[in-house]
Chains A and B, each alone.
Chain A
Amino acid sequence: MFDFTPQERRVILFFLSMMIAGIAISYLKKSYAHNELLANLYQNVGKTNLNTADKASFVSIPGIADKLASRIIEYRDKEGGLLNIEDLKQVKGMTNYRYEKIKDFLFIK
């Protein structure tokens, strides 16, 4: 059917055996890999500190627009800082849905 010379056949078989071995190794590596726990390091890395953030930092959070950011800052300045993230619910325009959406982006220090 293919009319290969004996040398060509050997080359094809060598190539195929390499591929088969490679696939098997790749599959085994995936099967026996473990979840690797690295650390518990950056709990608040990149999160926004509710008590120090400026307007631009608030606006970069999905779910907070210009107006709401201004209201949060106004409320924070009025209260002299926030003690709990849940205090955000007191801000005008902060619905429960929106609060749930943004709370994970924030922390208080």
Chain B
Amino acid sequence: MRRPLVWFVFFFCLGIYLDSHVSMAFFWLELFTLLFLILCLLMLKRKVLFDFFLCVVIFLLGAVLFQNSQKLSPNHISKYLKYSYKRFSIVKGIIDTPPVLKNGRTSFLFQTKEVQFDHLRLRTCGNILVYVKGNNALDYGQELILGGNLYRPYYLRRGNISLVMNARVMNFSNAPKKNRGFFLKRFAFYLKRKIENIIFSYLPSMPAAILDAMLLGERRMLSPLINNSMIKTGTVHILVVSGFNTSLVALIIISILKLFRVSRKISFYIAIPLIIIYCLMTGASSPVVRATVMAIVFMAAYLLKRETNIYNSCAIAAGFILTVNPHQLFDIGFQLSFISVLSIVYLYPRLKLFFKPELIKIKPARFLIEGFLVSLSAWLGTMGFIAWYFKIFSPITVIANIFIVPLAALITLCGFALVAMGILCPVIAPVFASTNELLVIVLLNINVFLLKIPGAYFNL
């Protein structure tokens, strides 16, 4: 069996899925898990029975983990607030995400530590979403005391966040200068700010917003019009940071190191922490975490001189994401990310066998056909999910991706070059900025042209 992890993750997901639909007491689930674990121990020497009980244990483990993730501590901030009830409160805690300024207000996630209601100060835990009027020069990791109305909006179901506060910064906590955030995250956010400054200082707002989305996954400046047109052609994945970007970053790092005659082994050791920093910079969404874990598995396998299997690497990435947060199984980003990778890995070789592009002698034509087959494999795998979630069916996706994905890769490369020049040699940076601008305009025009083709997309 070359892919045991795939089965592990399959049963693990099944456990999470069933537990989300069938409620069972945690005590009984844990008891059954322990019971089957003991049975596994007893059947250590009997292959078939051991494997069967192992599958059951992993299935139950998924269910137990999901139940545990749903259980909130009595200290959790959302336990202090009834539904649809606003309550003035003073909260002390730490800023958990980089603050974002939009429409005249700053928003961020706030990791709470203490809360005060009606003169009672209580210890608390859990994150809340905070909005503060104006630009308050806040930073990730700062300890603050906030005051404002805490409420539970009906629309908010973002993972483990259930409360919102319209606040004002009341006080910087006792140690305003001491940043309490995770140092690697702090560094990643510092780099992100630097890169954004370079992008927005050299490019006009529209291409800058697109490049910001492509390089850093930051979509707050992106026009909804562009976003919608990309959804219709099925190419919106280039506007979010995905596995594509992570692999490109890894490739750039390794290529640069190769240029300096650094051995492959050492370049992998250097690339691993750098792609982790890139993952943190872009907000560590499911697709980026998947790609980062898969890249690390591949590099680690090379360093440990072990054989790699893409299905196993995918399973490790899925297992890691779900162990940290089992709710991700129901996240559309998680589903689309894994489905697209798996369908490319599974369908592309089969389609290649069927269409035989290697028989085409003209290189550019062969490249186009191969691009078409990759695009077709991803489309076949994801079209059902996209139709279900976005109520849209876009046959143009297959054609659009052949042109837009290579162009997006070029823009991303040019974008990284612009950032590098912005730091190393700002005099040359405007040249790269102009190229970037031109490429972004070409990309948008191709997208508009494809949208105008009759039958490009159908709203369901």
Interface string of B387-429 (1 = CB under 8 A from A): 0000000000000000000000000000000000000000000
Interface positions of A from 10 to 59, Cβ below 8 Å from B: 10, 12-13, 16-17, 19-20, 23-24, 26-27, 29-31, 33-43, 45-47
Which A residues are in CB contact (< 8 Å) with B40? 9, 13, 16
Is A60 part of the binding interface, using a Cβ–Cβ cutoff of 8 Å?
yes
Which B residues are in CB contact (< 8 Å) with A61? 168
Known contacts A4-B4, A23-B65, A46-B90: A40-B71 contact under CB 8 Å: no
CA distance A2 to B64 in the complex (A): 23
CA distance A3 to B50 in the complex (A): 10
CA distance A109 to B68 in the complex (A): 48
Known contacts A20-B61, A27-B71: A41-B121 contact under CB 8 Å: yes
Is B213 part of the binding interface, using a Cβ–Cβ cutoff of 8 Å?
no
Q: In whole Å, how far is B133's beta carbon from the nearest beta carbon of chain A?
A: 6
Interface positions of B from 86 to 107, Cβ below 8 Å from A: 88, 90
Are the C-beta atoms of A62 and B148 separated by less than 8 Å? yes
Are the C-beta atoms of B34 and A20 separated by less than 8 Å? yes
Interface positions of B from 113 to 129, Cβ below 8 Å from A: 114, 116, 119-123
**Of the candidates B37, B123, B134, B167, which one forms a contact with A13 in the assembled complex, judged by CB atoms under 8 Å apart?**
B37
Which B residues are in CB contact (< 8 Å) with A24? 30
Interface positions of B from 36 to 79, Cβ below 8 Å from A: 37, 40-41, 44-45, 47-48, 50-52, 54-55, 57-58, 61, 64-65, 67-68, 71-75
Which A residues are in CB contact (< 8 Å) with B360? none
CA distance A3 to B7 in the complex (A): 13
Interface string of A65-89 (1 = CB under 8 A from B): 0000000000000000000000000
CA distance A10 to B149 in the complex (A): 53
Known contacts A27-B67, A42-B90: A105-B114 contact under CB 8 Å: no
- The binding surface of chain B is classed by DSSP as mixed
**Of the candidates A16, A33, A47, which one forms a contact with B147 in the assembled complex, judged by CB atoms under 8 Å apart?**
A47
Are the C-beta atoms of B64 and A20 separated by less than 8 Å? yes
Known contacts A2-B1, A16-B57, A38-B121: A45-B145 contact under CB 8 Å: yes
Which A residues are in CB contact (< 8 Å) with B116? 42
Which B residues are in CB contact (< 8 Å) with A37? 120-122
Are the C-beta atoms of A30 and B44 separated by less than 8 Å? no
Is B170 part of the binding interface, using a Cβ–Cβ cutoff of 8 Å?
yes
Interface size on B, residues (CB 8 A): 52
**Of the candidates A17, A43, A62, which one forms a contact with B166 in the assembled complex, judged by CB atoms under 8 Å apart?**
A62
CA distance A56 to B64 in the complex (A): 52
**Of the candidates B7, B37, B41, which one forms a contact with A1 in the assembled complex, judged by CB atoms under 8 Å apart?**
B7
Is B382 part of the binding interface, using a Cβ–Cβ cutoff of 8 Å?
no
Q: In whole Å, how far is A53's beta carbon from the nearest beta carbon of chain B?
A: 12
Q: In whole Å, how far is A73's beta carbon from the nearest beta carbon of chain B?
A: 18
Q: In whole Å, how far is A22's beta carbon from the nearest beta carbon of chain B?
A: 9
Which B residues are in CB contact (< 8 Å) with A41? 121
**Of the candidates B61, B71, B147, B168, which one forms a contact with A30 in the assembled complex, judged by CB atoms under 8 Å apart?**
B71
Which A residues are in CB contact (< 8 Å) with B33? 20
Are the C-beta atoms of B88 and A33 separated by less than 8 Å? no
Is B26 part of the binding interface, using a Cβ–Cβ cutoff of 8 Å?
yes
Interface string of B134-147 (1 = CB under 8 A from A): 10000000000101
- Sampled A-B contacts (10; CB under 8 Å): A3-B1, A13-B41, A16-B57, A30-B72, A40-B121, A45-B90, A45-B145, A62-B166, A62-B167, A104-B149
A sample of 8 more A-B contacts (CB under 8 A), given A9-B50, A36-B123, A62-B133, is A4-B4, A13-B37, A13-B40, A35-B74, A37-B122, A40-B119, A61-B168, A105-B148
